[in-house]
Amino acid sequence: MAVYYQQRGPVQNSMILNGTGVVDAIPDATVIRLGVETTGERLEEVQDENARLAQSLLQALNQLGITNIRTVQYSINRLFDFQADERIDRGYSVRNIFEIRAPGIDQAGIIIDAAVNNGANVVDFIDFDVTNAESYYHAALNLATRSAYRKAVSIGDDLGVNVNPIPLRITENTAVPFPVNTFLAREGTITPIEPGARQISASVTAEFLFY
């Protein structure tokens, strides 16, 4: 890491340093995108079948107490095959995808299994959310500031100078987004889903006076 010195007067100088902080956040909410895709030659029949399966899926989720559900995709596509430069009409595809948000993380496998057993044949992704991510970020921000200060003290010790513990200025850098975990459903009695911890990062640039 480069250290820059800036003259502040006859006896005061400054050093500008970066600091980073990372905290582990425990997910406390589940986000799942799944739905129904149907295909066939007659569009009206494909739509009716999709609607029937989607309704069965929603009823099963409601019976689990899941009410935070919204449609994120509804699409109708023509299907074609190409053989020897000839386009062959294969009918239509109708896709209806819902986003499900549920508190806690223990029901992810149960939700997927209930959905699949009641018509869902598409599972786009499973994500585990941190509802109080801002408080974790603030903790990471504090760690980042301490990291910058520890660097300043270490450099000051090496140079034989004293460092003012109060930064002259602190700049919050762009937050590093924590990664999205994506899981695919697997067959089993109850689909096993393990969310794990999420890392939330922060970065600052701090300027310290030394004398």
80-102 pLDDT, tens digit per residue, is 888 877 888 889 999 999 999 99
Written out in words, the top-level CATH class of the domain with range 4-27+132-210 is: alpha beta
Q: Report the largest interatomic distance among the alpha carbons of the chain, rounded to a whole angstrom.
A: 85
- Establish whether domains 4-27+132-210 and 29-129 are of one fold: no
pLDDT of residue 20: 95
Say which residue the tokens 């006896």 belong to.
Answer: 11
With 80 as the cut, is the pLDDT of residue 4 above it? no
Residues of the chain with pLDDT > 90, as a percent, come to 65
- Bridge partner residues of 87 (DSSP): 82
Average pLDDT, the chain: 86
With 80 as the cut, is the pLDDT of residue 12 above it? no
Taking residues 118-145, what's their average pLDDT?
A: 92
**139: number of Cβ within 10 Å:** 16
Weakest mean pLDDT among 79-88, 101-110, 140-149, 160-169: 79-88
What tokens appear for 6 in the block?
Answer: 């800036």
Q: What is the DSSP string of 94-129?
A: EEEEEEEEEESSTTHHHHHHHHHHTT--EEEEEEEE
pLDDT digits (tens, 9 = 90+) for 27-78: 889 999 999 999 999 999 999 999 999 999 999 999 999 999 999 999 999 9
pLDDT of residue 87: 83
Q: Is the model's pTM score more than 0.75?
A: no
What tokens appear for 202 in the block?
Answer: 């922060």
Task: Give the rounded distance of the alpha carbon of 204 from its chain centre.
Answer: 22
pLDDT of residue 84: 79
Q: Does domain 29-129 have CATH number 3.30.70.2970?
A: yes
Q: How far is Cα 113 from Cα 116, in angstroms, rounded to an integer? A: 5
Task: Give the rounded distance of the alpha carbon of 3 from its chain centre.
Answer: 34
With 60 as the cut, is the pLDDT of residue 191 above it? no
Q: How far is Cα 69 from Cα 62, in angstroms, rounded to an integer? A: 9
Task: Give the rounded distance of the alpha carbon of 64 from its chain centre.
Answer: 25
pLDDT of residue 105: 86
Tell me the domain boundaries of the chain.
Answer: 4-27+132-210, 29-129
CA-angle at 128, arms to 126 and 130, nearest 5°: 155
pLDDT of residue 95: 97
- What are the distances in angstroms from CA 41 to CA 37, 51, 81, 94, 174? 14, 16, 13, 11, 51
State the helix-helix crossing angle for 43-63 and 108-117, rounded to 10 degrees: 140
